[in-house]
A and B are shown apart, each in its own frame.
Chain A
Amino acid sequence: MRLLNIKPDRTWSFALAALPFAALIGAYLIGSGMRLAENPNDKLLPSFNAMLDAFRHMALTPDPRSGNYLMWSDTLSSLSLLLTALAISTFIALVFGILIGLLPIAGTTFGPVVAVASMVPPLALLPILFIVLGLGDGAKIALIVIGTTLKLIRDMALRVKDIPSELLIKAQTLGASTWQIALRVVLPQMLPRLIDSVRLEIGPAWLFLIAAEAIAADSGLGYRIFLVRRYLAMDVIIPYVIWITLLAFLMDLGLRLLQRKAFPWFAGARTA
């Protein structure tokens, strides 16, 4: 049988998917074990126990100074920034993406400026944002919005243009106005695709958030990582990184489920 025709069954799928994870963990354990055997005070690859202790300390014990559970307050602060920013960029992208993709006038007006602006490296704007908006949450949200919106807009506009022209003609022969077409034909077809695009922007959004938190913040997951870096506290950094990864993964999963639940027609239409 050809390799490309071999499809793993459920048990095998699970085992195969688990394999790389197990390999990574195993490699870490071996490396960490070797270094700790040489020097029990080694900070670079802490043991699982050390990380568990640090996690307990950060997540389950209140901070003596503020009385907060640091990991949770960090999470809350980061997530609220991230979600606010993503909500803003999603909304902007939806509106402008549909405008640019659907209306030739809007396309010629905004298309070039969006194409150029999306080439600006967002991190290069961070100093400007800090200067203009101060060091608070505003600058961080703005950075994430700038970093994700432009790509989302272009993506949406392209997907709107991908709608077969037959459908737009058909709607017009049913008497639809531009507004009605946007509302009842384009928008509902874009929502599930928007979810796909936003899923791809979750990674960049975290990147911008952590970069901004690293430079100026007093809480947040990125802030904490860069703070404890001074003490080489790998036992804190690694659990935090795993936690951030898990959060990002759960957001991705959530969006995928939302797509499947809210747009039952989409899976069929995508393959058609």
Chain B
Amino acid sequence: MTGIVFDKVWKEYGDHVVLERIDITIAPRSFVALVGPSGCGKTTFLRMLLGEEAPTRGQILVGGAPLKVEPGADRGVVFQRYSVFPHLTVLQNVMIGREFEHSRFLGKLLGAKRRAAETEARTLLDAVGLAGHETKYPAALSGGMQQRLALAQALNRKPKILLLDEPFGALDPGIRADIHVLIRKIWNENDLTVVMVTHDLSEAFRLGTRVIAFERPRNRPEELERYGATLGDDLAAQTQAGASITRDFEVWPKKIASPLGESDAGTQLDLKLATSNDNPAAS
């Protein structure tokens, strides 16, 4: 059970309240899309979930236990940029997760273990449509291919939670559609809770099982500067509102991830897309 709970979470940078009283429970295996205007704290939300930043107030629970304030292998991530290692080839980029896992001192696998990791990585690359590019360096890949690679790399450690921060924002619509199919398949075939930040509402509704909107109250900035000085720090901080959840939709029609084990997860991604319409589990 990897349900995620945000229990009255606040995030402030100094006097600047970014997120205010975030209270939300995310069910295991849901696909949450986060939307909201620029600067409202979506990335901040994700970074707290990642363990890169700690909440200033409140706590985050994953599977019932408080979240460690440090990124770990149970939470995979794909950023918009800089998600893959430029000095490693495509194949090495995928393998490196396994190497970190099994080779504490060298971070490098040799012999039979290496061959096993390589086979596993090739299977994943095949699944994300990067077969044939194994020996290339990321700089030689297109943006879409780099994001596919980042996905394969993140999935190699079989995380329970996958965090995506505008992963497809820089891709053109055609390529984006392809990669939507892929991410949907990945979500379907793995025991995975996905939280994705996006600026694209249609993407949010197409992929998500749940769409959450963040927003900060309108009337703020100038007013605050003005009152902030006279009201004193404490009061100012209280009047200064951060963003909070303003909308929270279950996406209709309901999408349900297919029960695990039906398809050979991760190894053989057949191209049939399991959507709400053709997913046997949903009907």
Contact of A175 among B77, B85, B97, B150 (CB under 8 A): B97
A180 and chain B: residue at smallest CB distance: B107
- The minimal Cβ–Cβ distance linking B271 to chain A, given in whole angstroms, is 28
- The minimal Cβ–Cβ distance linking B168 to chain A, given in whole angstroms, is 16
A175 and chain B: residue at smallest CB distance: B73
- The minimal Cβ–Cβ distance linking A99 to chain B, given in whole angstroms, is 18
A77 sits at the interface (CB 8 A): no
B50 sits at the interface (CB 8 A): yes
Q: Which residues of B contact A175 (CB under 8 A)?
A: 72-73, 97, 100-101, 157
B218 sits at the interface (CB 8 A): no
Cα of A194 to Cα of B152 in the assembled complex, Å:
31
Tell me whether B100 and A173 are in contact (CB under 8 A): no
Tell me whether A169 and B71 are in contact (CB under 8 A): yes
B205 sits at the interface (CB 8 A): no
Cα of A167 to Cα of B52 in the assembled complex, Å:
13
B276 sits at the interface (CB 8 A): no
Q: How large is the interface on B (under 10, 10 to 19, 20 to 34, 35 or more residues)?
A: 35 or more
Q: Given the known inter-chain contacts A167-B82, A183-B106, A183-B107, please indicate yes or no for A173 contacting B139, CB distance below 8 A.
A: no
Q: Which residues of B contact A269 (CB under 8 A)?
A: 86-87, 137-139
Tell me whether B71 and A172 are in contact (CB under 8 A): yes
Tell me whether B87 and A170 are in contact (CB under 8 A): no
Cα of A99 to Cα of B198 in the assembled complex, Å:
36
Cα of A239 to Cα of B105 in the assembled complex, Å:
51
Q: Which residues of B contact A264 (CB under 8 A)?
A: 137
Tell me whether B100 and A188 are in contact (CB under 8 A): no
Would you give the 0/1 interface string for A156-184, flagging 1 where the beta carbon is closer than 8 Å to chain B? Answer: 00000000101101111111110110011
Q: Given the known inter-chain contacts A166-B82, A184-B96, A272-B139, please indicate yes or no for A173 contacting B105, CB distance below 8 A.
A: no
- The minimal Cβ–Cβ distance linking A266 to chain B, given in whole angstroms, is 8
For window 226-272 of A, CB contacts with B under 8 Å fall at 263-266, 268-269, 271-272
Would you give the 0/1 interface string for B121-160, flagging 1 where the beta carbon is closer than 8 Å to chain A? Answer: 0000000000000000111100000000010011011010
Tell me whether A174 and B153 are in contact (CB under 8 A): yes
B97 and chain A: residue at smallest CB distance: A174
Q: Which residues of B contact A174 (CB under 8 A)?
A: 73, 96-97, 100, 153-154, 156-157
Would you give the 0/1 interface string for B72-99, flagging 1 where the beta carbon is closer than 8 Å to chain A? Answer: 1101110101111111100000001101
Tell me whether A272 and B86 are in contact (CB under 8 A): yes
Tell me whether A263 and B72 are in contact (CB under 8 A): no
- The minimal Cβ–Cβ distance linking A88 to chain B, given in whole angstroms, is 25
Tell me whether A173 and B79 are in contact (CB under 8 A): no
B264 sits at the interface (CB 8 A): no
Tell me whether A173 and B82 are in contact (CB under 8 A): no
Cα of A272 to Cα of B86 in the assembled complex, Å:
9
Interface size (A, Cβ < 8 Å)?
27
Would you give the 0/1 interface string for A206-233, flagging 1 where the beta carbon is closer than 8 Å to chain B? Answer: 0000000000000000000000000000
Tell me whether A263 and B87 are in contact (CB under 8 A): yes
Would you give the 0/1 interface string for A8-19, flagging 1 where the beta carbon is closer than 8 Å to chain B? Answer: 000000000000
Cα of A271 to Cα of B137 in the assembled complex, Å:
13
Tell me whether A170 and B77 are in contact (CB under 8 A): yes
Cα of A46 to Cα of B159 in the assembled complex, Å:
75
Tell me whether A268 and B77 are in contact (CB under 8 A): no
Cα of A174 to Cα of B96 in the assembled complex, Å:
8
Q: Which residues of A contact B77 (CB under 8 A)?
A: 169-170, 173
Cα of A185 to Cα of B97 in the assembled complex, Å:
12
Tell me whether A166 and B139 are in contact (CB under 8 A): no
B108 sits at the interface (CB 8 A): yes
Tell me whether B140 and A268 are in contact (CB under 8 A): yes
Contact of A189 among B76, B87, B105, B150 (CB under 8 A): B87
B272 sits at the interface (CB 8 A): no
- The minimal Cβ–Cβ distance linking B169 to chain A, given in whole angstroms, is 14
Q: Which residues of A contact B104 (CB under 8 A)?
A: 177, 180
Q: Which residues of B contact A167 (CB under 8 A)?
A: 82, 85
Q: Given the known inter-chain contacts A166-B81, A170-B83, A173-B71, please indicate yes or no for A265 contacting B106, CB distance below 8 A.
A: no
- The minimal Cβ–Cβ distance linking A268 to chain B, given in whole angstroms, is 3
By Cβ-Cβ distance, the 4 closest A-B pairs, closest first, are A268-B139, A175-B73, A269-B86, A172-B71
Interface CB pairs A-B, < 8 A, 26: A167-B85, A170-B83, A170-B154, A171-B100, A172-B70, A173-B71, A173-B72, A173-B75, A174-B73, A174-B97, A174-B100, A174-B154, A174-B157, A175-B72, A175-B97, A175-B100, A176-B100, A176-B107, A184-B96, A184-B100, A265-B88, A265-B138, A268-B140, A269-B137, A271-B139, A272-B86
Interface residue ranges, B against A (CB under 8 Å):
50, 52, 70-73, 75-77, 79, 81-88, 96-97, 99-101, 104-108, 137-140, 150, 153-154, 156-157, 159
Q: Besides the contacts A166-B83, A169-B77, A173-B73, what 10 more A-B pairs have beta carbons closer than 8 Å?
A: A170-B83, A170-B85, A170-B153, A172-B70, A173-B75, A175-B97, A175-B101, A177-B100, A180-B104, A265-B86
